[in-house]
Structure 1
Amino acid sequence: MFEVSGVNEESDIYDEIKASNNKTKTSKLNAETGTLLDQNKILVENGQVEVVASIYEFNSTLTDTIETKNQGIRASNKKSKKPLVQGVKYRVLLFDENDKFLTAIDGSSGGTPPVYNGAFRNTKYKWKAYSFNNSNNILPAIPANPTTANFNINSTNTGGLLFASGEVITSDKVNDNNKVNILFKRQTAIVDIVYSGRGMFDKITSLLGNINLPIYNSGVFNLLTGKYVSYTTPINSHVTNLNQTVSSKGDTIRTHTLYTVNDVQSISNYGVNLTSLTFPTDLNSQLGSRTFSSNLNFNFTKSFKPQLGKRYKIIIDFLTTSRNVTNTGGNVDWAYHNLFYNDLSKVYGFRHYNSNFYEKGISAGGQNSGEYFNWKALKPGFAQPFNVVDPCALVYPAGRWKMPAASEFNTLINIPSNISGTPRKSNAGSPDPVRYVNIVLGTGNFAPYDMFTNGLPLLMLGFRENGSNTISGYNTSSTGTSNLYFWSSTEVDSGNSTYFAISNTSSSGTTMNVRTANAAKTYGMNIRCVRNKNYIYKPNIQ
Structure 2
Amino acid sequence: MKMNYLKSLKAAGLTCMVLAILSSCSKDVNYGEAGKTQVLVNVGVDNSAPSPLKNSARKSVQATNTIEIPFSKDITLVASLNPVNNTAKTGLRASTKKAASTTNEFPLATGSTYTVLAYQNDELITSKDFTVGGDNRLQLEAGEYTFVTYSSGSNSTIGIPTGTLSLAKFEELAADVDLMYASKTQPILEGVTNDLNVVLKHLFTELTINFNTAALGDATIQSGTFSPSFSTASVLVKDGSVEGIGAEQAVSITFPTGSTTGQQFSSTPVKVIANTSEGVINLQNVSIGGVTKDVTLSGLTIVPNTRYVLDLALKTGSGDASADVGENSWSLGNLTFSRITNTYSFASGSSEGAYFFPDRVIPKNTEPGSTNQGPDESNGSIGDPCALIAPANTWRLPLSSEITALNAATNAGGSSNPGPGSWEPARWVDYYNDDQTGLVGVFYGTQSLPAVEDRDKYLFVPFLGAYHDNFDLSNLGSQGYYLLKDDEKGYANGYATWHLTGQPGQLNWGSEVIEIDNTSAVQVVCVKNN
What TM bracket, shorter-length normalisation?
Answer: 0.3 to 0.5
Per the normalisation by structure 1, the TM-score is 0.43
Per the normalisation by structure 2, the TM-score is 0.44
Q: Which has the higher helix share?
A: 2
Larger Rg: 2
